Structure 1
Amino acid sequence: MTKLMKAVVVPAVKAAWEVRQRPVPEPGPGEVLVRVHACGICGTDLWMAHGVLSFREFPLLMGHEGVGEVVALGAGVTERKIGDRVGLPMMQKRCGACGFCREEHPDSFVTAGNCAGPTLTGVNVDGALAEYAVAGVGGRSCSRTGSPTRMPRPRCAPATRRGPASAGPTPGRGPGSPSSVSAGSATSRSSSPGPPATTSSR
């Protein structure tokens, strides 16, 4: 029997965001399955939901400011172990073949915008606005977070947007930032376009 999870999905351009049941993804070779503790909502998510930016067809499962815990390993994964706390930034994997990649820039939002064929969490692959997310470990797709016990999970999530993921405080975003939500705690459909009104974390 297929295991299901809750995920925040945008079904169409400018449509209300919905909490839907989706199969829990399985990690492939070189990937890990992460149980998401919290995920920020970025302006990029809103632009995609409103059709201003388009990278793939609707429905969309977005979210590139996730933090969580590794709960399963795909074949060949040795860089991570079960129980690792990790961040899931947008820049998941570079193509490694284009001119920009050959210049060996650090993986960051700049790489995401210049690589000829990047894998981008929540942009051209499913993201972290769900109870579980899959990520590759070949690049900085699944970076260890820096404060495993002291920092509240919602504060860790927006920190991933600033480049290589590190769960540190994000300037300008204090405790209880409304941009951080737990997709797993969402239980009802949004009544208007935009994310469900959930702010609790596990």
Structure 2
Amino acid sequence: MTDYFALLNQPRRPWLDTEEVKHAFHARALQAHPDAKPQQGAESSSDALFAELNEAYQVLQDPKRRLQHLLTLEGHPPDRASGATPTTIEALFPLVAAATNRATALVKQSAAATNALTRSLLKSELQNASKDVATVQGKVRELYDTSIACLQRLDQSWDNDSRPEPNQLKQLYLELSYVTRWLQELEEKRLQLSTC
């Protein structure tokens, strides 16, 4: 497995300055880009290196993917099956499910509406569903922000003797997995509702 931290000359830790990662990527990409130094026969290797640099950049920019990569490199790959669902996630499950299910049902009803009266009657329900989605999205965003703050706190002790336990990082990874997926799903539902 390629160490993306080493590939972009970044320290192997849970939190990185995304601007530094961006600058490191651009510096390496300028050197490795296939068009930078065209050489006969070396095209495929420079293409592969550039693709790997791009993947490293994508992973290290994303807190969840960075944490997954770090845990894997440290010999503790995260596994959803082995960890209990965090209580913060369990509390949000019904809210997210209710908001997304309601939004999906209303979008389908709106698409099936054949006349202006039916669409007009659905308008207030669509607006209320959109408000509900936004409210749940706000709660999920708060949890995301809390998770990021926790990740930053854990990073502060990374070089000390009080280095976080792998299980702490795995739980945080699991939390970020749910939260990032929910944020995408809720945004998609919000957009669908806004176009009805």
Normalising to structure 1: TM-score of the pair?
0.20
Richer in strand (by share): 1
User: Going by fraction, where is helix more abundant, 1 or 2?
Assistant: 2
Larger Rg: 2
TM (norm. structure 2) is: 0.20
